[in-house]
């Protein structure tokens, strides 16, 4: 079992729809969870982080964390073509400095 | 703030040659990470430095890989000898001790022929 798993996609959604990206992790003791966006040929950039169970909203983005089920998700409301990118889930297990990344989900927002 | 600076942006070399990748972290950041990204394996952590000291190099694939951080503003990742399977994008990232946000450099696209 991989430490952090994501569906590679591509996930295609029409412009204006909600995009839902999911991630599961294996270390039950993990405490910190991150979503990075990576445009083709560019470096990853942090868009959201979440530490506690529940939802965290920032503009059109909402991160959801369920530690009991060991999954974290990212919702993008009112998806725009400019949101088309690969979204990387990262987990920091407790007591470590390491950030374990999933292989990413490619999102396509269709105009 | 210029961000994390990596050089070169692209490197094409032949199998068996030595390759040196360079990284300048953001001033004041005390943690530095080297990652390798491939389609199949995603982002893999190679080595982590804290206050210029290598803390964990368990992700370094084999003895052909080595990394140094002689001071707070410079780090190198060296591959000697290089092999075609080393072809990947290599990212350097830095971080302060006060938050968990990783700042990535632009990466080095390495192609070993």
CB B48 within 8 A of CB B56: yes
Closest residue to B42, CB basis, from A42, A46, A103: A103
Chain B interface, best mutation among A97, A102, A104, A106, by max B CB count within 10 A: A97
DSSP code for B26: P
The Cα–Cα gap between A106 and B81 comes to: 34
Closest residue to A99, CB basis, from B50, B102, B105: B102
The Cα–Cα gap between A18 and A16 comes to: 7
- Using left for φ > 0, alpha for ψ between -120 and 50, and beta otherwise, residue A41 falls in left
Collect all residues with Cβ–Cβ distance below 8 Å to B5 and sequence separation of at least 6: B23, B24, B105, B106
The Cα–Cα gap between A79 and B77 comes to: 39
Decide if A43 and B107 are in contact by the 8 Å CB cutoff: yes
pLDDT, one tens digit per residue, over B48-104 is 999 999 999 999 988 999 999 999 999 999 999 999 999 999 999 999 876 678 999
Q: List the beta strands (DSSP E) in chain B.
A: 5-7, 10-13, 19-24, 31-38, 42-50, 53-56, 65-71, 74-79, 88-95, 103-104, 108-112
- pLDDT score at B1: 64
- pLDDT score at B96: 85
Decide if B42 and A99 are in contact by the 8 Å CB cutoff: no
- pLDDT score at A31: 87
Residue of A nearest to B49 (CA): A97
In Å, how far are A44, B19, B42, B61 from A91, measured between CA atoms?
14, 30, 14, 22
- pLDDT score at B40: 87
Q: How confident is the prediction along chain A (111 residues), in pLDDT tens digits per residue?
A: 678 999 988 999 999 999 999 999 999 989 899 999 999 999 999 999 999 999 999 999 999 999 999 999 999 999 999 999 999 999 998 878 889 999 999 999 999
CB A36 within 8 A of CB A12: no
């Amino acid at each position: 079992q991989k430490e952090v798993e994501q569906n590679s996609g591509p996930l295609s959604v029409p412009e204006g729809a909600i995009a839902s990206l999911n991630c599961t992790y294996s270390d039950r003791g993990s405490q910190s969870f991150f979503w990075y966006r990576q445009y083709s040929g560019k470096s990853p950039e942090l868009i959201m982080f979440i530490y506690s169970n529940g939802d965290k909203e920032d503009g059109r983005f909402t991160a959801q964390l369920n530690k009991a089920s060991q999954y974290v998700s990212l919702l993008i409301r009112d998806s725009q073509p400019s949101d088309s990118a690969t979204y990387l889930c990262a987990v920091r297990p407790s007591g470590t400095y390491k950030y374990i990344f999933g292989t990413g989900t490619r999102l396509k927002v269709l105009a | 703030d210029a961000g994390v600076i990596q050089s070169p942006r692209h490197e094409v070399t032949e199998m068996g040659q030595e390759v040196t990748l360079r990284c300048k972290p953001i001033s004041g950041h005390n943690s530095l990470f080297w990652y390798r990204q491939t389609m199949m394996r995603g982002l893999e952590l190679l080595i982590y430095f804290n206050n210029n000291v290598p803390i964990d190099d368990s992700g370094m694939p084999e003895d052909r890989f080595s990394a140094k951080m002689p001071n707070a503003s410079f780090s190198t990742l060296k591959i000697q000898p290089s092999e075609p399977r080393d072809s990947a994008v290599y990212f350097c990232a830095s971080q302060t001790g006060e938050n968990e946000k990783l700042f990535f450099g632009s990466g080095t696209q390495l192609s070993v022929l």
